[in-house]
Amino acid sequence: MCRPATPRQRATTHERRDRTETRARRRFVRDLHDVPPYRVYEVRLDGRRAVLKVDDHPRGHAADEGRVHEYVATHTSAPVPDVLAVGADHYLTAWDDALATTPATTDSRWARVAGDWLATLHADTAGEFGGFGRPRDDGDALAVDAHDEWIDAARERIASHREFLERVGHADVADAVDRFLECHPGVLDGAGEPVLCHGDVHPEHLAGSDGGRASAIDFEHALVAPAEYDYWRTAMPYLEAPDDVDDTVSRAFRDGYEAVRPLPDGLGRRKPIYRVVNLVAFLESLYLQRPVGPAERERRGAVMRKLVLETLEELRAAVG
């Protein structure tokens, strides 16, 4: 469970704005994003531009995401748009021109700013949570059903993805990762204390200006976990995997991060474990969000499951 609010925190959303009145005063302008499990709209609230994110699938959890976003806005110095309201199936934020107009470019300048923003989030939330786990809406605040051990929270995360993957024929991939973690409970020892992790930092979710200011959105994949979980959630898929992103970008990301706080010892040693844990999540996103057609989706799914199984074989050989 989160610690009580401190004097530096601003008033919570329910104290600032009644949700029912907010709904009555907003006007839809246009669709911004329609990717399961959400729809995102530009709206007008009292004449001001705002963004509304709404559940559009049973896997959606906009209220949980809204509470995380609100927590970041009110408890940390990591810049995000202000949260205006959180409802049972939606949340509403102020408009941010930087996020709307900045090109989605993964270069060294962006990477350094992203590393700085992510490390600031982690530094500001270190020591604020009593364990590891998924953050959720608790009616008018953020709560975490915490585990004492990170590996237990990681296995819970895998189990959540398995529920969906069973429908698309890939539950066995989640099962294989879970069995490895169950049989090797010490593989994540030394990962570090729990911090609030964004879970999906990339140029469409974090924009930085030339002056170095960054602002972030989309806490859909947030988790209270060790900082290295968040580090690899960004570095592996967005900085290391693409052919058109060179090594200088990864170095800039790490430099930006370590300018704020250090990364833990053993970061590289545990990297393959995060590869398989994250690939299970990415496999769900592939089939839930459907960014490509059926044939390409199946091809990518086969590549992901093969990489998971091959990495697990390497890990078993390494740990004995």
- pLDDT surpasses 90 at 168: yes
Task: Write out the two tokens for 316.
Answer: 């078993």
Residues 6+ apart with CB under 8 A from 245: 106, 238, 239
**Rounded distance between C-alpha atoms, residue 231 and residue 24, angstroms:** 40
Q: Mean pLDDT over residues 196-205, rounded? A: 95
pLDDT in tens, 259-296: 999 999 999 999 999 999 999 999 999 999 999 999 99
**Peptide bond preceding 81: is omega within 30 degrees of 0, i.e. cis?**
no
Q: Looking at residue 130, what is its pLDDT?
A: 95
Region 250-263 average pLDDT: 97
76-109 pLDDT, tens digit each: 999 999 999 999 999 999 999 888 777 778 999 9
Provide the pLDDT for residue 22. 58
Rounded to whole angstroms, the Cα distance separating 308 from 314 reads: 10
Most confident range (mean pLDDT) of 88-102, 112-126, 234-248 is 112-126
What domains can be seen in the chain, in order of their start residue?
13-101 (3.30.200.20)
pLDDT digits (tens, 9 = 90+) for 220-230: 999 999 999 99
pTM value is 0.91
The sign of the torsion formed by the CA atoms of 75, 80, 84, 88 equals negative
- Strand, helix or coil for residue 32: strand
> Which residues neighbour 197 within 8 Å (Cβ) at sequence distance 6 or greater?
121, 122, 222, 223, 224, 225, 227, 229, 230, 233
